[in-house]
Amino acid sequence: MQPKNKVSLIARLRSMRETRFGAFVPVLLALAAIWIYFGLAVPIWDYWGDPDAETLRFIFLSPRNIYNLFMQSAVIATLAVGITVVLLLGEIDLSAAATAGVCAALLGVLVLMDVPAPIACIIVMVLGIVIGAAQGILVAYVGIPSFVVTLAGLLGFQGVMQKILPTGNLNVGDPFVRGFARVLLPDAMGWALGILCVLFFAWTILSKQTQRKARGLELDNKVAVWGQIAFFGALVLATVATLNSYRSVPLLIVLLIAITAVVGWITTSTPYGRAIFSVGGNPESARRVGIDVKRIRVSAFAIVGLMAAIGGIFGASRFGSVSYTAFAGGSLLLESIGAAVIGGTSLFGGRGSVWNAILGALVIGSLGNGLDLSGAGAADKLMFSGAILLLAVAIDAISRSGTSER
């Protein structure tokens, strides 16, 4: 009886993964598990274990902490979105964090030299694109494996960053740069944006459904359609409400979501995105239908470079400084690759989504934040992160082994 049930559960998980929305479920479950553990289980355990405790204190799930959580995860998420794009191709980028570091350092120096901050930001983004495209050319045209190219990039750019910042640290006080992380949307505007997002989401789904009917195509399940809308609505509005109840929706989060929406749209709804998926799935197939595989590769690396530069700007904005350890020398790289993979993006290419990368970043961020709150040391954090990463990839492997081996 039991094994039969188990098989059907895995089969159901597999069939669920095939739908576009279903791919979110594993990472959402992971996130829910972490939040329940740190948000509910740990406080209740403390309350019972400690007779002196007066009240239950849900620190982790307090609006203030969730606000911080979002801000902490934002830089990881930005890089993870970019890394997802190359992972879709079946390539990897180990240099993203170092690129972000170089870009952030250059931004700091430029601002210090009285270059207007918006221009400095554009220069830095162009630099990111150039760095990414250069690595992409080495991968696609010279034929060096991306692992090696970007490993060299990781080492080299760490050095470059140290050259730019001999002291290893530079404060960034420019109001424009700081503004990304500091500016808060007024409460009403946050609500308006959230509601607009939900309405737009509902409109696209429903209008697609009516068009399907008009063209005589098979229809989506009605429950699934409304379930998606309700779920998405609840998620967005709950986020806005939580952020508003502490401060309000920060500009950084809005920008992150907007950038992810653009990248997500490009990867799923344009011929270019299709080309990325097909190169990741079967490069030979892409080549035969006339897709310029090499150019697709280079452009994907350029996108990572751009996202790394944006991540660098966001990081400089949030920390108010550029430091070697915060970018190139720290754990940012592995956290952002981890975020992409925890989000369910395959390392072998062809499967994944940039939205999942954001959720993956939240998983990594929540884990670090929760362990910090419960007083765990750096060693515990590392071990837990490793375990979660392994668990996520294991869930991924089990849920898709059926389709990949046939």
Partner 1 sequence: MSQTKHSMGPMAPSPHLRVSGIHKSFGGVHALKGVDFEVARGEVMALVGDNGAGKSTLMKVLAGAHIADEGEFFIDEKSVSVNSPHDASDLGIQIVYQDLALCENLDVAANLCLGAEPIKPGFTFLPRLLRPLDDLAMEVRAQEAIDRLQVKTLKSVRAKVGGLSGGQRQAIAIARAVGADGTVVMLDEPTAALGVAQTRQVLDVVKRLRDTDHAVVYISHNMRDIFEVADRICVLRHGANVATWTKDDVTPDEIVGAMTRGLDSEATNAA
Distance set, CA 2 to CA 7, 130, 311, 402 (Å): 9, 56, 47, 20
Q: Please pick, from the candidates 8, 169, 171, 285, the single residue that binds partner 1 as defined by CB under 8 A.
A: 285
Q: State whether the Cα torsion 36-40-42-48 is positive or negative.
A: negative
Which listed range, 206-214, 300-308, 325-333, 370-378, lies at the site for partner 1 (CB under 8 A)? Answer: 206-214
Distance set, CA 357 to CA 120, 207, 257, 354 (Å): 28, 27, 12, 5
| 222 lies in the binding site for partner 1 (CB under 8 A) | no
Which listed range, 92-100, 243-251, 272-280, 307-315, lies at the site for partner 1 (CB under 8 A)? Answer: 272-280
Query: Under a CB-based contact definition with an 8 Å cutoff, are residues 149 and 138 in contact?
Result: yes
Which listed range, 40-48, 92-100, 196-204, 268-276, lies at the site for partner 1 (CB under 8 A)? Answer: 268-276
Q: How far apart are CA 91 and CA 350, in angstroms?
A: 10
Distance set, CA 136 to CA 78, 271, 274 (Å): 19, 20, 19
Q: Please pick, from the candidates 272, 387, 390, 397, the single residue that binds partner 1 as defined by CB under 8 A.
A: 272
| Site residues (CB under 8 A) for partner 1, limited to 3-32 | 18
Distance set, CA 360 to CA 277, 344, 388 (Å): 20, 8, 11
Beta strands in 123-203 (DSSP E): 169-171
Query: In the beta sheet, which residues pair with residue 186?
Result: none
| Site residues (CB under 8 A) for partner 1, limited to 297-326 | none
DSSP secondary structure of 79-92: HHHHHHHHHHTT--
Residue 352 corresponds to which amino acid? Answer: G
Contact characters 155-194, partner 1, x per CB under 8 A: ----------------------------------------
Q: How far apart are CA 146 and CA 197, in angstroms?
A: 37
Q: Please pick, from the candidates 266, 334, 382, 391, the single residue that binds partner 1 as defined by CB under 8 A.
A: 266
Of 244 and 299, nearer to partner 1 (C-beta) is 299
Of 52 and 284, nearer to partner 1 (C-beta) is 284
Tokens of 39: 């948000």
| 210 lies in the binding site for partner 1 (CB under 8 A) | no
Of 252 and 276, nearer to partner 1 (C-beta) is 276
Tokens of 360: 């993956």
Q: Please pick, from the candidates 315, 338, 350, 360, the single residue that binds partner 1 as defined by CB under 8 A.
A: 350
Residue 45, helix vs strand vs coil: helix
| 286 lies in the binding site for partner 1 (CB under 8 A) | yes
| 284 lies in the binding site for partner 1 (CB under 8 A) | yes
| 211 lies in the binding site for partner 1 (CB under 8 A) | yes
Q: Please pick, from the candidates 125, 311, 345, 351, the single residue that binds partner 1 as defined by CB under 8 A.
A: 351
3-state secondary structure 261-273: HHHHHHHHHCHHH
- Least gap, CB of 288 to partner 1 (angstroms): 5
Among candidate residues 113, 151, 192, the one with its CA nearest the CA of residue 333: 151
Q: Please pick, from the candidates 9, 11, 212, 246, the single residue that binds partner 1 as defined by CB under 8 A.
A: 212
**What residue ranges bind partner 1 (CB under 8 A)?**
18, 208, 211-212, 215, 217-218, 266, 269-272, 274-275, 277-278, 280-282, 284-286, 288-291, 350-351, 402-404, 406
